[in-house]
Amino acid sequence: MRVEAEQRAEVEDEAREQAESKAREEATLREKAEQRADSETQARVEAEARLNEALESMERTGTCECCGRKDIPENDLAKIDSGQRLCPDCIKMLRG
């Protein structure tokens, strides 16, 4: 009986060691996956920031409906009572 108990204890120790080894491997793999996910998240955040910066730096332009000039920043176009959008130069001429 004692021999059987010792053999059982050895088998249990071996199984415990294998389980602990597998748990360490899984923990290492989980840590690597978390690091990869963190890196991907950081890369996405940086890419979004660059995109937003590029979009903010782009200025939308429009066309003056009086002189036909096409490179007028939309913020500079003024809408008059008739609904037309005019550039600052045409507004000055209109007002005299």
55 and 45 Cβ atoms separated by less than 8 Å: no
Task: Output the pLDDT for position 56.
Answer: 77
Written as one letter, the residue type at 75 is N
Residue keyed to tokens 């332009």: 61
pLDDT in tens, the chain (96 residues): 778 888 888 889 899 999 999 999 999 999 999 999 999 999 999 999 999 888 877 778 899 999 999 989 998 999 999 999 999 999 999 888
